[in-house]
A and B are shown apart, each in its own frame.
Chain A
């Protein structure tokens, strides 16, 4: 065991910090720190800065544009960028599809899509959830039938809760290619150009007034057979691989630190004793979460129950963030009673508090996406109750 980061990791942290200080525009930083909604153009500015630096796709294999960073360095990168007020890299193409295509894609698929994802020229939506398939993803119904000419799939169905689909050009989707059978043998992973006739996106207005989640209707959408990723009926393998990447960083350490810093700012220089106690409680919970996250990157770390790690991080990380957002709501005073940033003057003393309620409401989804926290608890219990 070794408490300190290596000198290489310390130097890496400094280089990330320096990069963000130089390249993150002040207006984006301000939006992030105020919890305001970002436009696609904001994300594009930041993603381009990361691309120019060669840091846009750290988790990808090096030959396709990955950085070769260690898991610890990736954790440092997330923490430093988020703490400095940078936006999260929300793009599903970067976070999810890139690793899947790198592993399962054909050469033509890789050559066509990976560079465009890295350059943020094509944005991808994740077409997984459906009206009757949320946590129980395997029950999805969207069908893809091979056309008479054998060259295309005809896709029919509906995807739901599709993040940022309103900004996306393409969608990777799980579709049923066999009517029955185990999910491992009846679901395929395909790539859909969203400009194809029959694709319709409808934004869903959420509790906090945001519209970043969507319904995507697929009505006789013709998808070339060459857009199948991996083997026919074996899309579940891709999905499982992808979900492993989705869970990476799911503890949200950087976001927790970002919001805790925001809470300190809201409370001011001298928080009351009660607030100080709560702040310290959050800090200790965060320390435990961060240590657990780093511990799981180490080999031979004597886990009591194998396989509970990712679920533990998901549950504890999201619940901690929700608690901090709840505390922000309490600390924000009258400004936290507004649903949106409605201040006409940006120099209004409360202008930076205008999004607290919206952020609190938005945070409810943390314990729902990526496998609800109830499903995560099921998984932890299954690992614990069948230990032998």
Chain B
């Protein structure tokens, strides 16, 4: 059991932080970006290898591990720029790695890692989408980070007996795909994707059971999303510290008041504990304990994120409830991450099942 970080990992973290700080100043984080800026950032992420971090070299990837992905997610979380990366590089990327055959993987991952294609995944689509003669019908609800995407990966049930489930890829520009846009809590664009005789672009032909694939991908995504929330929490802590040190009331800086100090201490402890669980989840990704640790981290995030965020807002006073103050944007992203796979009770239940 060892939680040490190598010099190379620190170097990667510093590189991603420099990219984020350079491209997205704090005062702009959380604002809606224009499409050109989004595309430019995406290409820069491709240049520094962030998009294919855990892909094979044959797919232009860096062949790094989930620990490097955790460190990267923290830094992207600090910049509020992880939304599309989570769904394209992590969810879709890991799905392709786990669910497709070798040649499919090389082809799809190469396009994702060099930034030519972006993708998202409908993790819970199997109950609502059917496939028959390579045509899809049904609806994928609440798909995340769909804007600017080329591909949607989804699980469809074969309409013919024995009604097997398959992971398939759909080109979102094809006829038969209609997108009902939804602006999510954090400002990112999600959607209900309605499929009416939409053609299958590719059926992933790996050997693993489709539901098993879904679990593996979801656990990896959760581990990465918990890490992202840590990055957002870092910024919230830094902003809170700065506010308490600079804001004066009753003749003293707010940092001098013990009741506020203790609130800060509680924030720090939540952060420290969650960071430890995020490390476990990242280390466990390739092991039998991946699900257990991912669920533990997500359960902890679900339980403690709201008190954490509420406290940060409270410590900022009235400024904390304005749109202008940056903290609210980080709060919204954390709340979304903490609940996008279910609530704390669900994660505890899943943790228990994974522990048996």
Residues of A within 8 A of B (CB): 1-5, 9, 72, 276-277, 280-281, 283-285, 287-289, 291-292, 294-295, 298-302, 304-305, 308-309, 311-312, 315-316, 374, 376-378, 380-385, 387
Contacts and interface: CB of A to CB of B under 8 A. Distances in A.
B318 interface: no
Contacts of A294: 1, 3, 276
A312 B283 contact: no
B207 interface: no
Given A288-B274, A304-B237, A385-B241, A298 B261 contact: no
Interface in B28-56: none
Given A1-B282, A295-B276, A300-B6, 14 more contacts: A1-B67, A2-B283, A9-B1, A283-B351, A285-B273, A294-B3, A298-B3, A304-B268, A304-B271, A308-B268, A312-B269, A315-B269, A384-B264, A384-B267
Nearest to B353: A280
A295 B279 contact: yes
A284 B296 CA distance: 6
B3 to A, nearest CB: 4
B237 A384 contact: yes
A305 B345 CA distance: 31
A160 B244 CA distance: 38
Contacts of A283: 351, 355
Contacts of B355: 283
Q: B272, B277, B279 — which one has the most chain A CB atoms within 10 A of its CB?
A: B272
Contact of A1 (B5, B262, B265): B5
Contacts of B4: 1, 298-301
B276 A291 contact: yes
A212 to B, nearest CB: 29
Given A291-B280, A298-B4, A384-B264, A280 B303 contact: no
A284 B289 contact: no
B284 interface: yes
Interface of B: 1-6, 10, 13, 67, 234, 237-238, 241, 244-245, 255, 258, 261-262, 264-269, 271-277, 279-280, 282-284, 287, 289, 296, 299-300, 303, 345, 348-349, 351-352, 355
B283 A385 contact: no
- Chain A contact residues: helix, strand, loop or mixed: helix
Contacts of B241: 384-385, 387
Nearest to B7: A300
Given A280-B352, A284-B300, A299-B4, A292 B262 contact: no
A381 B264 contact: yes
Nearest to A301: B3
Nearest to A278: B348
A308 B272 contact: yes
A316 B273 contact: yes
A287 B272 contact: no
B279 A1 contact: yes
A282 B28 CA distance: 40
A281 B351 CA distance: 10
A330 to B, nearest CB: 18
Contacts of A312: 268-269, 272-273
Contact of A381 (B10, B262, B348, B349): B262
B338 to A, nearest CB: 14
B2 A298 contact: yes
A161 to B, nearest CB: 24
B271 A3 contact: no
Contacts of A289: 273
Contacts of A3: 1, 280, 283-284, 287, 289
B8 to A, nearest CB: 12
Nearest to A293: B276
Closest 6 CB pairs of A and B: A381-B261, A291-B276, A377-B265, A3-B283, A380-B265, A298-B3
A76 to B, nearest CB: 10
Contact of B296 (A287, A302, A380, A383): A287
A289 B276 CA distance: 8
B334 to A, nearest CB: 16
